[in-house]
């Protein structure tokens, strides 16, 4: 059971973090576009955030499953694991705020919400990398 949960956890990780890097590449690739064309393109590309949401859901559900089935995981993981869990909570808050901004941007066909979305995406990428590093350090 634990192997299955870990596999689901890794698939969720690929989905959630992969979308963040894809958006970073799209942001770089659309730098030369006219502002209105870029906004229209990115508004359509936000559909990928659904993949990230599904990945995050898989990560949370499988993570809770792993916590419930792996004896002593809190003690074994130590400070790295506790810090990782703290960053996960922060990431969830940023993710929720990002989803609100994406919804506002879609409703306004761009608007002021579009300016903060790349910054929040960058924060999400940094948090995701930090969480991965801490997970490796916690269980290495």
List per-residue pLDDT tens for the chain, 140 residues long. Answer: 889 999 999 999 999 999 999 999 999 999 999 989 999 999 999 999 999 999 999 999 999 999 999 888 878 889 999 999 999 999 999 999 999 999 999 999 999 999 999 999 999 999 999 999 999 999 88
| pLDDT of res. 2 | 87
| pLDDT of res. 82 | 94
For tokens 């508004």, the residue is: 43
Torsion sign over Cα 121, 100, 64, 84: positive
Token duo for residue 69: 């089935």
| pLDDT of res. 13 | 95
| Domain residue spans of the chain | 2-139
Which residue in 17, 45, 41, 44 sits closest to 31, CA to CA?
41
Mention every residue, 6+ apart, whose C-beta is less than 8 A from residue 98. 49, 117, 120, 121, 124
8 contacts 59 by C-beta, under 8 angstroms: no
28 contacts 35 by C-beta, under 8 angstroms: no
| pLDDT of res. 71 | 85
| pLDDT of res. 1 | 82
């Amino acid at each position: 059971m634990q192997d299955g949960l870990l596999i689901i956890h890794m698939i969720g990780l690929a989905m959630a973090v992969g979308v963040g890097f894809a958006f970073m590449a799209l942001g770089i690739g659309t730098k030369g576009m006219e502002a209105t064309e870029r906004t229209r393109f990115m508004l359509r590309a936000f559909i990928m955030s659904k993949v990230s949401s599904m990945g995050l859901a898989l990560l949370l559900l499988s993570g809770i499953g792993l916590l419930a089935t792996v004896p002593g995981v809190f003690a074994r993981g130590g400070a790295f694991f506790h810090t990782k869990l703290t960053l996960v909570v922060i990431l969830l808050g940023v993710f929720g705020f990002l989803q609100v901004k994406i919804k506002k941007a879609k409703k306004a066909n761009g608007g002021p919400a579009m300016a903060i979305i790349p910054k929040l995406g960058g924060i999400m990428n940094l948090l995701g990398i930090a969480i991965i590093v801490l997970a490796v350090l916690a269980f290495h």
